[in-house]
Amino acid sequence: MSRILILNKSIASPAKVRTQNKSGMNSDIFMSVKNNFNAGRVELNWMSLIFVVAAGIFFSGGFYLYQVNDIATKGYEIRDLEKRIQDLNKESKKMEIKEVELKSMYNIEKASQDLNLVNSGEVSYIEINGPVAMK
């Protein structure tokens, strides 16, 4: 008894197996067959390839715009900080000049006259002869 098997290879529906015996009678048997033809392979068509390339270009463009914007922002921040450093250097030089002016002898004498201080004419020291400890 010989039988011929014919498999209907569709993924969506179960496979239909048709058997034929010697007398010519056909009997159809429905059974579920797994389609192992594409196991482990990914099929890419042109549309999916174009989509992947377009998505790559889109994300690359977005990243480029982000980087350019970030660099421009940091450039403005650096320029502002350099200007602040220059202003602080100018102010520091002005304060150094003011310090020298205030420490000058002319300003000290002027301040003593404004406060009604008198110059000491004669300085006298006390001499102690004896066993007294001095601090």
DSSP readout, 90-122? HHHHHHHHHHHHHHSHHHHHHHHHHTT------
pLDDT value for 34: 47
| Whole-number Å distance between alpha carbons of 74 and 76 | 5
| Tens-digit pLDDT profile for residues 78-97 | 999 999 999 999 999 999 99
Global model pTM greater than 0.95: no
| Tens-digit pLDDT profile for residues 106-126 | 888 888 888 888 877 788 887
| pLDDT-based confidence at residue 64 (cuts at 50, 70, 90) | very high
Contact (CB, 8 A) for 6 and 18: yes
Structure tokens, 78: 């650096």
Residue carrying structure tokens 């209907």:
8
| Whole-number Å distance between alpha carbons of 37 and 15 | 14
| Range 29-47 average pLDDT | 58
In the predicted structure, residue 3 carries a pLDDT above the cut 80: no
